[in-house]
Structure 1
Amino acid sequence: MYRFKLLKWLLVFSVFLAGCDETPQNEQYSTFEAIKSAGKLRIVTRNAPTSWYINADGQPTGFEYDLGRLYSQYLGLEPEFIVEDSIGDVFNALSTGKADIAAAGLTVLESRKHRFLVGPAYDSVHQVLVCHRDGFNPEGYDELSEVTIRVVADSSYAERLAEIKQNKNTALAWQETDRFSTEELLEQVAEERVDCTVADATIVKINRRYFPELRVMMQITDSQPVALYLPAGAHELQTELEAWFKQFQKSAQPDRLEDRYYGYFREFDYVDVSVLKRRVDKRLPRYKKFFRVAAERYDLPLTTLLAQAYQESHWDPDAVSPTGVKGIMMLTRNTAEAMDVVDRTDAKQSIMGGARYLRRMMSRFRDEVMNEDRLYLGLAAYNIGRGHMHDAQSLARQLNLNPYVWHDMKKVLPLLTKKKYYKNLRYGYARGTEPVRYVQRIREYQHILGNELE
């Protein structure tokens, strides 16, 4: 239903009720005039990591949250998010007039076109069968009847299993539930409470960071478009939605949303994630209080500081690199002196010094730099040094890129390895790919830690 890499942005114009121009009598919706008069756009979504959720700061976030917010802003309306528990409830909110639009990672299915208008498609996904890595692993459709499969009711997953049963394996059976979300079913598979489930590949990709025991067995669909849905009679709102989406596609916003929510994912590493989860339990408790104090004192996200320290040293206060940096935050001698750190192997001193230094790097950027961009630019400067970061920003300007947006800067930094570019820069050559990987890994660790520390 939803996917993390927004590789293409497609514009799919609305699909009306099959063979019918009239709204079914049991469908209710607000006219566009009524919506404008109310001053708000009611957006139904689901509590899911790619749709809508509450972040570590207690604020709503998510890709489809931002999508709905931006469309509301275009209309000059306040967004009102209605969070439902199931896909069935999402569509029920549309059909009963409770919501004006659905943004919940919904794939385009023929069965849905008969009752709703389909808005712009903003992504595409494919479904996969997911099982426990140590359990029985079916290798083809003929073996699916050998495992218990549980999926979300009223979902595209259940519809696909019905197609497989009809065309590939008549013995196939599965359970449907409206009590659990896709994410909860993946957790059940990881805990071996059920053999397998079906989910979008991107949902699995994010959840394997939390549950490394999950294993993708097979792809069971081709790519399917993901779109916004509207009530069957909401043609005027649909027209406005299409007009906004055309503008949206041409702006820098799609790339920024992609980077914000999905830019940190790399290839899954079972060992890496498993080791991190063990160290959260075994190693982190000794130092957690120091991280909390440092994060509060220097106004940094706790999970970012934890993730940075894990990237630097795996939370080992005695860590030493071949170049002489040492401690939990891997400080150089000069940086330690500047941050008043006497003993770099003292965990408390190192954490406080590292947090102070990160805040200093972040403060070097002008006030209008957005919070997330400021954080990522600061982390990159922590890794590569402020001088090389300044060079990269100068180069960004020469290339007509924004030196204060991380999405642009992560394209520029690797150019510091190329003589064509670095020969004219003040500080010269630098291993510019390192800060890009550094920030990417910190963002990924931060994502996992946010879940582990809940």
Structure 2
Amino acid sequence: MLTPSRLFSARIGGYIACAAVFLLVMLPAFPPDPEGKKLRAIKQRGFLTVHTRTSPTIYYAGRRGPAGFEYELARRFADHLGVSLNLEANHHLDDVLPAVRHRGDLGAAGLVLTPATPGISFTRPIIDMQPLLVYRRGLHGIGGPEDLAGLEIGTLRGAKGAGTAATLRELQKDYPALSWKESGELEVADLLAQVENSDLDAAVVFAHQFRVNRLFFKNVERGFPLGKPSSLVWAVPDRHNLAFLGEANRFLDDLQQSGELKKLVERYFGHDDYLEYVGTRTFLDHLDSRLPRYRALFQQAARDTGFDWQLLAAVGYQESHWDPDAVSPTGVRGLMMLTSPTAKEVGVTNRRNPAQSIDGGTRYLRQLEQRLPKSITGDDRLFMALAAYNVGLGHLLDARDLAQRRGGDPDRWRDVRDALPLLQQRQWYEKTRYGYARGGEPVIYVRNIRRYYEMLQYVERSRQQFFQLDRNLPSDETLMPFDLVLPLN
């Protein structure tokens, strides 16, 4: 039997049910939202904001424009979304996740997968990062973790050391005597510099970071892997619609399936040397097969500017191997590898035209040389102009300033050469006007050009002697073929 109160409740429930059916039938359904609010907002405003930081493995700005593995990925993702890329790169790594959490779209800054990070979601893994023990050359008997007790070891702290420091903590369970120092202020190049300078005996970094930097630290030896690999990921704020995270994951999946991700990894991390060392045999092959096509152009550029044509040819070989169709990942192209702004500045309308490229690159080199202080003279002036061609005049001037601060002579290439790699270390580049640069590269760049220049001169002298000898031989006498052997020094 229904009481009045129960009867009232039943009637109210019926009315509510009828009203719900009425609303479902009569009111239009809400439209589907496959993209999500965040993804739509990014497309509507036309740009993607990415929080990152300057590092050889992540993002850096050089003469050839923005570069770096994660920069390249982020640029391609922005292109995939049909928007421009807005980088906020003035971060320390520990600042990246808070910035993403509160105001950014994406964090791409060498981030290690750390599940359960408050307010942050992570993408699928991009690459594996293997912790690696490196040590100062000359130390003996370091073959495994059991040999690390008593050594001064350094690694990165906080988000930077999420993989390396955690690996050491795990290793300490089996080797209680193991100890190390952690820093949240240093970068990988700083750690390697401390090993190089004997401030540390060893360091734990990721293997791909060491491959990129090892050329600049010749006294640092590769040791052995430690622990399991960590995962490099991007960070997305939890408040974002899942559709945005899903779109980033689909982009990364497609990049992997197409093989493009593998190509990027090989391009940035596949070789220990950023600048390719070309063997003597390859150089001689190109000397015979390529240089004759452009020799007259180099000679004309030399007459117009006062440079030695063989020096200009050495620059061209270092830049492109005398290939007028050469293109860098950042769009620098042509035999002298000019950027679009530089080409426009020197009046080059077709960077793939060898005559325009050689003429424009030579005039640009002369402009750089003329903009250097008059106190720099002789070969010092030439070497600094070549370094500026590679790294940019601003960074070269920063290195001169650092050389002077360290008690060196800013007008001597030897002292500036020693200061350039400091532009990779935060304690130094934060004191400069133009900031971070891969300062070790122009050192190698100038050294390579000097090597190629000397080889060109040697070959030219050898050929002249050969032709002179040939003219002096009797007509029925022949020369036996021989292999040209170049001096190593």
**TM-score class, shorter:** 0.5 to 0.7
Select the residue among 319, 331, 350 that pairs with 2:310.
350
CA distance in 2, matches of 1:324, 1:162: 52
1:421 aligned residue: none
2:441 aligned residue: 449
Amino acid in the other structure paired with 1:141: P
RMSD between aligned residues: 4.4
2:51 aligned residue: 44
Q: Does 1:148 align with 2:152?
A: yes
5 Å matches for 1:36-435?
Answer: 36-57=43-64, 59-95=65-101, 97-110=102-115, 116-135=120-139, 138-154=142-158, 155=161, 156-165=163-172, 167-234=173-240, 235-251=242-258, 253-254=260-261, 256-258=263-265, 260-262=267-269, 265=271, 336=295, 340=299, 348-353=308-313, 362-363=323-324, 365=325, 371=331
Give the conservation status (yes or no) of the 8 Å contact 1:93–1:99. yes
**Cα displacement string for residues 298-340 of structure 1 (whole angstroms, at most 9, x for unaligned residues):** xxxxx98xx78x8669xxxxxx97x9969xx9966x9757865
Cα pair distance change 1:86/1:337, threshold 3 Å: closer
The residue matched to 2:89 in structure 1 has which SS? strand
1:424 aligned residue: none
Normalised by the length of structure 1, the TM-score is 0.55
Give the conservation status (yes or no) of the 8 Å contact 2:49–2:87. yes
CA distance in 1, matches of 2:206, 2:323: 37
Amino acid in the other structure paired with 1:124: D
CA distance in 1, matches of 2:73, 2:231: 16
**Cα displacement string for residues 111-143 of structure 1 (whole angstroms, at most 9, x for unaligned residues):** x55653120322112111111012365433333
1:423 aligned residue: none
Query: What is the deviation of 1:145?
Result: 2.8
Cα pair distance change 1:361/1:126, threshold 3 Å: closer
Give the conservation status (yes or no) of the 8 Å contact 1:331–1:350. no
Query: What is the deviation of 1:355?
Result: 5.8
Identity of aligned residues (%): 20
Once structures 1 and 2 are overlaid, which stretch shifts more, 146-155 or 36-45? 36-45
The residue matched to 1:206 in structure 2 has which SS? helix
Give the conservation status (yes or no) of the 8 Å contact 1:137–1:217. no
Give the conservation status (yes or no) of the 8 Å contact 1:136–1:147. no
Amino acid in the other structure paired with 2:441: L
Cα pair distance change 1:91/1:137, threshold 3 Å: farther
The residue matched to 2:218 in structure 1 has which SS? coil
Query: What is the deviation of 1:198?
Result: 0.8
The residue matched to 2:235 in structure 1 has which SS? strand
Query: What is the deviation of 1:238?
Result: 0.2
CA distance in 1, matches of 2:236, 2:62: 27
Normalised by the length of structure 2, the TM-score is 0.51
Cα pair distance change 1:451/1:72, threshold 3 Å: farther
CA distance in 2, matches of 1:366, 1:255: 21
- Equivalent residues, number: 301
CA distance in 2, matches of 1:89, 1:366: 38
**Cα displacement string for residues 402-423 of structure 1 (whole angstroms, at most 9, x for unaligned residues):** xxxxxxxxxxxxxxxxxxxxxx
Give the conservation status (yes or no) of the 8 Å contact 1:82–1:99. no
Query: What is the deviation of 1:80?
Result: 1.4
Unaligned runs of 5+ in 1: 1-29, 269-302, 314-319, 383-445
The residue matched to 2:125 in structure 1 has which SS? strand
**Cα displacement string for residues 34-54 of structure 1 (whole angstroms, at most 9, x for unaligned residues):** 444443222112211111001
